[in-house]
Amino acid sequence: MPQIPQQAKFWGIRKPEIRILYLITRWFNGLPLTIRGEERRIGTHHDLPLEDLFRADNWDYDYERYEHAHERLLNNGLLQEEYVCRRKIDWGPTQQGRKAIREVLKPWANELRPDWADKFATGPLFGDPNEGVTHRKGVEIAGHMIPQMAWAWDIQDRGRRYGVEWYPTHRGNSCHDLHVDTTERMDNVGVEVVTDSNNFDRLVNKWRRLQNEDRLTLWLFDRRETACRLWNELDYRDEFYLDGQFRNHGNWSAKAINRKIWRSSDTYRGKPSEDIVQTVTGLLEGDDDTIQDLFEEYHSNN
């Protein structure tokens, strides 16, 4: 292990905490962990408690020796307990925790680099520096599943993947989390993960900007309720007219939400809605048909 960086003292982080944060960052960045003979990733499996992540092959550390360090990270506000896809985890990096990781784990950035990050991307946390576990999970799931679709243009050459762009920055604030180029017969796809249900100004502005992109947007929400509230807000602000607002948000399935959005767009805008809605949990617990069926129904209706 390289020498402990000077910044670690500021955060009260010692070697045991560094080992914990290193393991969490590996998982967060989408790198695989083999646990009990099964390769797992944040984009293919439910998240595990930290004690179970410690059971990864080639991880020669006993969780019991690091339990107090784990408690210190929780008590210091660098990690938190939270629910991700209806499962409780005890290692979610807080905003301060992500800042600490970026400062303290810099010496290990190259070995924590995911395969989608080019040589110009900086770590040790790659991608959006402000995203939490649920947001990263949504991006990773979509980045894993969509390239497997027959309509996705996905070419791998010399270790690089072309046709699927992660966290593009060349378009400024209007960028999706993922850009997916497709075959000639359908529009290109952008994936946008939404986990902030409180800042409606930001979400509405994001939706408005993405309408100007020449892409169909796959929206992945933390919950179906968040999707209902966003489209209700769009309707309230006269940005998108619904044929009646969503009520009893928890009773709406993703399929029903989509059909209402598409029907309303056809009725009031006279053109297809360029939006498809699903949840992060829905994709994680689904299969390849979960995405395929969504897109087939969208194109059959539009």
For the stretch 95-108, pLDDT in tens is: 999 999 999 999 99
**258 pLDDT above the threshold of 50:** yes
Report residue 171's pLDDT band, with 50, 70 and 90 as the boundaries: low
Which residues, listed in sequence order, are joined to residue 193 by a DSSP beta bridge?
A: 220
Which residues, listed in sequence order, are joined to residue 157 by a DSSP beta bridge?
A: 160
Higher pLDDT residue, 115 or 258? Answer: 258
**Token representation of residue 55:** 């059971």
Which residues, listed in sequence order, are joined to residue 82 by a DSSP beta bridge?
A: 89
- CA dist 205 and 185 (Å) reads 29
**86 pLDDT above the threshold of 90:** yes
User: Mean pLDDT of all residues in the chain?
Assistant: 90
Question: What was the pLDDT predicted at 168?
Answer: 83
Question: What was the pLDDT predicted at 63?
Answer: 94
Question: What was the pLDDT predicted at 158?
Answer: 47
Question: What was the pLDDT predicted at 121?
Answer: 86
Min mean pLDDT across 23-27, 93-97, 126-130, 278-282 is at 126-130
**193 pLDDT above the threshold of 90:** yes
CATH code for the part of the protein at 7-126:
1.10.10
Report residue 2's pLDDT band, with 50, 70 and 90 as the boundaries: low
Domain ranges of the chain: 7-126, 137-301
Question: What was the pLDDT predicted at 155?
Answer: 58
Which residues, listed in sequence order, are joined to residue 219 by a DSSP beta bridge?
A: 192, 277
Read off the pLDDT of residues 32-49 as tens digits, 9 standing for 90 and up: 999 999 999 999 999 999
**187 pLDDT above the threshold of 90:** no
- CA dist 63 and 250 (Å) reads 38
First to last CA, the chain: 56
Report residue 271's pLDDT band, with 50, 70 and 90 as the boundaries: confident
**Token representation of residue 61:** 């550390």
Question: What was the pLDDT predicted at 170?
Answer: 60
Read off the pLDDT of residues 198-252 as tens digits, 9 standing for 90 and up: 788 999 999 999 988 888 999 999 999 999 999 999 999 999 999 999 999 889 9
Strands (E), the chain: 33-35, 38-40, 79-84, 87-93, 155-157, 160-162, 164-166, 178-180, 189-194, 216-221, 275-279
